[in-house]
Amino acid sequence: MIRNPLSWSAWAIAALAAAFIDRSPWLQGLLLLVVFNLWWAYRGRRGSTYWKVGVALAILPILFSAALSRFGHHVLVIFPSVPIIGGAWTWEAILYGVSTGVALLLTVAVFGIVSSTVRSADLLSLLPPPLYRAGTAVALSLAFAPRTASSFRAIREARRLRGHRSGWRSAPALLVPLLLTTLEQALQYGESLDARGYGSGQRSRYRPLRWSRLDAAAMVAALASLILTLVFPSTPYNPYADLAPAAPAAVSIIAVILLAAPAVTAALPGTDHADHHA
């Protein structure tokens, strides 16, 4: 099991690079397999909201491309002459959209995997000193969010009973007290941070980053993959030139397979199978 957040960050960057740059359907298919494999190995208790969003988002480029592009020989359907979207919707356009859509889906999936394998507290302590305050702001806002949501519901309930219609007109009455209450609570948060010594100055780290051999191996694999993807990018897929995709170069295939390293290490005998934080 890979636990080190730095390894995961390296993996995420390499995977994002591959998702973004490799548009050949063969490579994308392979990448999808790799990502799914990883998700399966590291799935936590969190649900699959990421996949749903990803799929929804993947459809958009398909529609875009198909609707706006008139080139291509293999026609799917011809719409009546409505301005802009009227005319022939071609397979070329659709396939182009598909490849973009899958790329987007993959990026969402990468984020999904990373969010279930890395603890937010670890990430925060990982940040270099210049970024620490910004990271704290993010962590704080994440901490505030659930309480704000329940405050909001409480205010809405109470107002309904005060006899006010909950609608559009009552928005200032909902927003302003919610805002002020949350801001006042923020002051106590700020004081609490101050009282515990938060500020500029050298910070040390309580939980050291543990590097196992597997973590290191995964990191090396990720970096190698990234370098291969950037230095030897795969030939871009152009359905307009040729509907069928070209066979991918061996280098590209290797780059994608390297991304499967965390999944491979998870399956090795003797690795720690303790439940990681989800």
Partner 1 sequence: MPIITLDDLHYQYPEADRPVLEGISTRVEPGEVILLRGASGSGKSTLLRTLNGLVPHSTGGRFSGRVTVGGLDTRAHLPRELGTRIGFVFQHPDAQFLLEDVEAELAFGLENLGLARPLMRKRIEEVIDQVGIHALRHRRIATLSGGERQRVAIAAALAMHPQALALDEPTSQLDPQAAEDVLQVVLRLVAELGMTTVIAEHRVERIAPFVDRIWTIESGRMLDQVPRAALADGGARPPVVDLAVRAGWSPIPLGLREARTHATRLSTTAPGELRADGTGAVITRLDSVAFAYDGRRAVDGASLTLRRGQVTALMGRNGSGKTTLLKLIAGILPAQRGRITRELTVAYVPQDADGLLFAPTVEEELHGLTAESVAPFREWRHRYPRDLSSGERQQLAIAVVAARADLLLLDEPTRGLDPTVKRALTSFLRARAETEASILVATHDVEWAARTADRALLMADGEIYADGPPRTVLSDSLVFSTQINKLLGGQWLLPEEVPV
Partner 2 sequence: MKRGFASHAEDAVLAGITVAGLVLFFAPLLLGSRFPQAVLLFSALVAVSALVVLGVAVQTHRLSTRLLAVLAALVAVDAVMRLVIVVGLLGFSPIFFLIIAGGFAMGPSFGFAGGALTLLLSAVLTAGLGPWLPYQMLAAGWVGMGAGYLGRLTGRSTSRFTIGLLAIYGAAAGLAYGLVLDLWEWPLLLNPAASTLSWAPGLGLGALARRFAGFYLTTSLVYDAFRAVGNLVLIAALGAPVVVALNRFRRRFLVQWSVHEPVRAVSTVNISTDVGTPA
Q: Per CB under 8 A, which of residues 169..188 are in contact with partner 1?
A: 172-173, 176-178, 180-181, 185, 188
Binding status of residue 124 toward partner 1 by CB under 8 A? yes
Q: Which residues pair with 152 in a beta bridge?
A: none
Q: Does 45 engage in binding with partner 1 (CB under 8 A)?
A: no
Largest CA distance in the chain: 70
Q: Which residue has the tokens 């050949």?
A: 24
Per CB under 8 A, does 192 bind partner 1?
A: yes
The reply to whether 158 sits near partner 1 by the rule CB under 8 A is yes
Q: Minimal distance in Å, beta carbon 111 to partner 1?
A: 19
CB of 193 to partner 1, least distance (A): 7
Decide: is 203 part of the binding site for partner 1 (CB under 8 A).
Answer: yes
Tell me how far, at minimum, the Cβ of 274 lies from partner 1, in Å: 13
Identify the H or E element spanning 89: strand 87-90
What are the residue ranges of helices labelled H in the chain? Answer: 5-21, 25-42, 49-68, 91-117, 120-126, 129-161, 171-195, 213-231, 250-258, 261-267
For residue 75, the surrounding DSSP H or E stretch is strand 75-79
CB of 108 to partner 2, least distance (A): 5
Write down the least CB distance from residue 31 to partner 1, Å.
31
Could you give the dihedral angle defined by the CA atoms of residues 192, 128, 38 and 103, in that order, rounded to the nearest 10 degrees?
A: 110
List C-alpha distances in Å: 48 to 17, 33, 112: 23, 16, 8
Residue 154's binding partner out of partner 1, partner 2, none, with CB under 5 to 8 Å set by partner kind: partner 1
Q: Which of 87, 119, 224, 257 binds partner 1 (CB under 8 A)?
A: 119
Number of residues that make up the chain: 278
CA separation, residue 35 to residues 43, 48, 108 (Å): 11, 14, 11
**For partner 1, which stretch binds (CB under 8 A), given 53-61, 143-151, 212-220, 236-244?**
143-151
> Among partner 1, partner 2, none, what does residue 206 contact (CB within 5–8 Å per kind)?
partner 1
Instruction: Indicate the SS3 state at residue 169.
Output: coil
Which stretches of the chain bind partner 1, using CB under 8 A? Answer: 119-121, 124-125, 136, 139-140, 143, 146-147, 151, 154-155, 157-162, 172-173, 176-178, 180-181, 185, 188-199, 201-208
